[in-house]
């Protein structure tokens, strides 16, 4: 058996070219004769197709010029007057058959154009951008401190009826508190690690919880028992959100994914992958995009729930995004990072403005129907903002419980009650604090310190 000789690619390509050349070289110069009549016909068809409108106008202009020339010769006047531009477009453009110029005639080439002609475009001075004045909001003050947890209180959720709220903590216990009196009503045990997120269903008697034990639980509040588990997360589950209109639960955590669950069947409908680090916050809304996630990879992603795919990735933040909050009435949301709090417009995620001032990690945010946005920092600072203008009308340091260290001043979560008149925060000093507006404050006692020139310089 003969051994096949191997050739380089260059040799094989060259041989193929040579064979092709030898095959076609005999009749290379035997091109068909050009039919001049057909070539002319082809040229006319292409010209008519491309420039037909111009040909028609040129023919009309020639006919009009011929008609005008005949009338001028009969009157003993030259067909074209000196000083008039040669471009005309009929009688209505300025030259009537008797050869005289009307008011709309094209001006002579030697005459300068007047600034008072109707064709002159007047440039109006640009109006200076106006900065809206922020709405006055009453300052907030601490009205109650609730103790009872034995570890950092990591999450809070208010019941839709506004009668009680639930908190979860590092002591692995979920506690139910009376909102009016602040008294403990119930303790739920079942998690074996820190409880990181809670959510109460507005349509069912269900409380959902998740934690660092990778468990997602559904509690039946009529029996105070766990009735469902949602298995699938590979690591700690840090955040959750219930869809407002359909029976869907979204959870996310340290495995860099957000999982969409059918509340009834416990089926994992979608696993939303794309983030490259821990997903720290997730919110859902009825309109598209229905899911928004914020991650430690410094990005915010907007997801299409039906397709289970990412629609948009916002990369404006420079550091971890730990909190996202939806406005209750406007089609907007805000995302928080140590560099800035940023406001966006749905559904494309159009950037609106920056809210600057925090010099620490921002763990949580909450907004009420009055347009008060609150942000809580890892060092215990709380900032109150006017949502529309981004004006920071109040800031203070949350007081730690007596006996606690200063390092235990962090705020981990916050939410407004259903009326928007009370703010509940959970903190690192193992307490729950409730704030409300100062009823005695007025616009005179707490005026708006509004300096638009500084705001303008910061924004633009």
Token readout for 274 is 């794309």
Q: Mind listing the pLDDT tens digit for each residue in 354-379? A: 999 888 999 999 999 999 999 999 99
**Mean per-residue pLDDT over the chain, rounded:** 85
When pLDDT is averaged across residues 16-26 and rounded to a whole number, the result is: 80
Greatest mean pLDDT among 2-11, 79-88, 163-172 lies in 163-172
- Show the domain range for 312: 140-437
Let me know if residue 273 belongs to a domain.
yes
Is the confidence at residue 77, as pLDDT, over 70?
A: no
Residue 168 near residue 209, CB atoms below 8 Å: yes
Is the confidence at residue 86, as pLDDT, over 60?
A: no
User: What is the pLDDT, as a whole number, of residue 358?
Assistant: 86
Burial 94-116 (b: 16+ CB within 10 A, else e): bbeeebeeeeeeeeeeeeeeeee
Is the confidence at residue 119, as pLDDT, over 90?
A: no
User: What is the pLDDT, as a whole number, of residue 357?
Assistant: 87
Is the confidence at residue 258, as pLDDT, over 80?
A: yes
User: What is the pLDDT, as a whole number, of residue 107?
Assistant: 44
C-alpha–C-alpha distance, residues 383 and 385, integer Å: 6
Let me know if residue 192 belongs to a domain.
yes
When pLDDT is averaged across residues 118-125 and rounded to a whole number, the result is: 55
Let me know if residue 423 belongs to a domain.
yes
- Cα 50 to its chain centre, rounded Å, is 45
User: What is the pLDDT, as a whole number, of residue 22?
Assistant: 80
CATH number (domain holding residue 236): 2.130.10.10
User: What is the pLDDT, as a whole number, of residue 198?
Assistant: 97
| H/E segment holding residue 248 | strand 248-253
When pLDDT is averaged across residues 311-323 and rounded to a whole number, the result is: 94
User: What is the pLDDT, as a whole number, of residue 403?
Assistant: 84
**In this predicted model, which residue has the larger pLDDT, 456 or 345?**
345
Greatest mean pLDDT among 60-64, 103-107, 342-346 lies in 342-346
Band of residue 36 on the pLDDT scale cut at 50, 70, 90: confident
User: What is the pLDDT, as a whole number, of residue 89?
Assistant: 46
**In this predicted model, which residue has the larger pLDDT, 117 or 246?**
246
* β-bridge mates for residue 367, sequence order: 373
Residue 145 near residue 453, CB atoms below 8 Å: no
Contacts of 457-460 with CB under 8 Å at 24 or more apart are 458/356, 459/131, 459/353, 459/354, 460/129
Let me know if residue 352 belongs to a domain.
yes
Q: Mind listing the pLDDT tens digit for each residue in 147-188? A: 999 999 999 999 999 999 999 999 999 999 999 999 999 999
Q: How many domains does the chain have?
A: 1
User: What is the pLDDT, as a whole number, of residue 150?
Assistant: 95
Q: Mind listing the pLDDT tens digit for each residue in 232-242? A: 999 999 999 99
User: What is the pLDDT, as a whole number, of residue 421?
Assistant: 94
Count other C-beta atoms under 10 Å from residue 446's C-beta.
16
Percent of the chain with pLDDT over 70: 82
Q: Mind listing the pLDDT tens digit for each residue in 286-312? A: 888 789 999 999 999 999 998 999 999
User: What is the pLDDT, as a whole number, of residue 75?
Assistant: 53
User: What is the pLDDT, as a whole number, of residue 29?
Assistant: 65
Question: What global pTM score does this model have?
Answer: 0.70
Let me know if residue 324 belongs to a domain.
yes
Is the confidence at residue 88, as pLDDT, over 70?
A: no
Phi, psi of 306, deg, nearest 5:
-65, -45
Q: Going along 71-193, which residue ranges are E strands? A: 140-147, 153-158, 164-169, 173-178, 184-189
Residue with tokens 């005639």: 105
Let me know if residue 362 belongs to a domain.
yes
Is the confidence at residue 392, as pLDDT, over 80?
A: yes
Is the confidence at residue 34, as pLDDT, over 70?
A: yes
Bond preceding residue 376 cis, omega within 30 of 0? no
Let me know if residue 267 belongs to a domain.
yes
Q: Mind listing the pLDDT tens digit for each residue in 195-231? A: 999 999 999 999 999 999 999 999 999 999 999 999 9
According to DSSP H, which parts of 148-229 are helical? none
Pick from 457, 429, 454: which is nearest to 150 by CA?
429
C-alpha–C-alpha distance, residues 141 and 421, integer Å: 12
Let me know if residue 176 belongs to a domain.
yes
Is the confidence at residue 400, as pLDDT, over 60?
A: yes
């Amino acid at each position: 058996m003969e051994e096949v000789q191997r050739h380089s690619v260059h040799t094989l390509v060259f041989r193929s070219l040579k064979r092709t050349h030898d095959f076609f070289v005999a009749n290379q110069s035997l091109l068909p004769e050009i039919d001049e009549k057909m070539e002319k016909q082809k040229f006319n068809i292409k010209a008519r197709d491309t420039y037909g409108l111009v040909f028609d106008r040129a023919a009309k202009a020639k006919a009009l010029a011929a008609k005008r020339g005949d009338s001028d010769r009969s009157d003993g006047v030259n067909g074209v007057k000196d000083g008039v531009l040669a471009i005309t477009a009929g009688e209505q453009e300025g030259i009537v058959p008797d050869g005289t110029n009307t008011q709309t005639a094209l001006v002579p080439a030697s005459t300068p154009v007047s600034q008072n002609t109707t064709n002159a475009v007047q440039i109006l001075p640009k109006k200076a951008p106006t900065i809206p004045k922020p709405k006055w909001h009453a300052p907030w003050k601490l009205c109650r401190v609730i103790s009872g947890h034995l570890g950092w209180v990591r999450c809070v959720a208010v019941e839709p009826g506004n009668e009680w709220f639930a908190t979860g903590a590092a002591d692995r216990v979920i506690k139910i508190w009376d909102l009016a009196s602040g008294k403990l009503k119930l303790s739920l045990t079942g998690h074996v690690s820190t409880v990181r997120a809670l959510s109460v269903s507005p349509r069912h008697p269900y409380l959902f919880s998740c934690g660092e034990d990778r468990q997602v639980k559904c509690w039946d509040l009529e029996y105070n028992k766990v009735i469902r588990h949602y298995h699938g997360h590979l690591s700690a589950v840090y955040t959750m959100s219930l869809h407002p209109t359909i029976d869907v639960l979204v959870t996310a955590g340290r495995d860099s994914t957000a999982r969409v669950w059918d509340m009834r069947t416990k089926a994992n409908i979608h696993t939303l992958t794309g983030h490259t680090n821990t997903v720290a916050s997730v919110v859902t809304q009825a309109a598209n995009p229905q899911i928004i996630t914020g991650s430690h990879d410094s990005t915010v992603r907007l997801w299409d729930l039906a397709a289970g795919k990412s629609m948009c990735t916002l990369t404006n933040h420079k550091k971890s995004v730990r909190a996202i909050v939806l406005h209750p009435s406007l089609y907007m949301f805000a995302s928080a990072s140590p560099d800035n709090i940023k406001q966006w417009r749905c559904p494309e995620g159009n950037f609106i403005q920056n809210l600057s001032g925090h010099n620490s990690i921002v763990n949580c945010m909450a907004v009420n129907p009055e347009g008060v946005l609150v942000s809580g920092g890892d060092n215990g600072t709380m900032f109150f903002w006017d949502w529309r203008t981004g004006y920071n009308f109040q800031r203070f340091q949350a007081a730690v419980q007596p006996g606690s260290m200063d390092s235990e001043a962090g705020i981990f979560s916050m939410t407004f009650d259903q009326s928007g008149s009370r703010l509940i925060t959970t903190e690192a000093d193992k307490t729950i604090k409730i704030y409300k507006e100062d009823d005695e404050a007025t616009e005179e006692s707490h005026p708006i310190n509004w300096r638009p020139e500084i705001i303008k310089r910061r924004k633009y």
